Amino acid sequence: MPKPTLSIEFLGAAAEDYLPHLAVDCVVFGFHAGQLRILLTHWHARQRWSLPGGFVRRDESVDSAAHRVLQLRTRLDHVYLQQYHTFGGLDRRDEEIEHMLDHEDGRQAARAWINDRFVSVGYYALVDWTEVTPTPDGVLTDECRWWDLATCPPLLFDHDAMVARALATLRSQLGHSPIGLNLFSETFTLPELQRLYEAILGRPLDRRNFQKRMRELGILERVGELRGAGVRRAPYLYRFDRPRYEQALREGILLRR
Residues that bind a copy of itself (CB under 8 A): 19-22, 56, 58-63, 65, 83, 85-86, 88-90, 117, 119, 121, 175-176, 251-254, 256-257
Euclidean distance between CA atoms 81 and 87, whole angstroms: 17
Nearest to 151 by CA among 30, 17, 36: 36
Give whichever of 145 and 176 is closer to a copy of itself, judged by the CB atom.
176
Give whichever of 81 and 144 is closer to a copy of itself, judged by the CB atom.
81
Side-chain half-sphere of 236: how many Cα atoms within 13 Å?
A: 10
CB of 252 to a copy of itself, least distance (A): 4
- Find all residues with CB under 8 Å of 58, minimum gap 6, and list them: 17, 18, 19
Give whichever of 45 and 217 is closer to a copy of itself, judged by the CB atom.
217
Give whichever of 30 and 122 is closer to a copy of itself, judged by the CB atom.
122
Output the DSSP codes for 27-75.
EEEEEETTEEEEEEEEETTTTEEE--EEEEETTS-HHHHHHHHHHHHH-
Give whichever of 12 and 20 is closer to a copy of itself, judged by the CB atom.
20
Euclidean distance between CA atoms 257 and 248, whole angstroms: 18
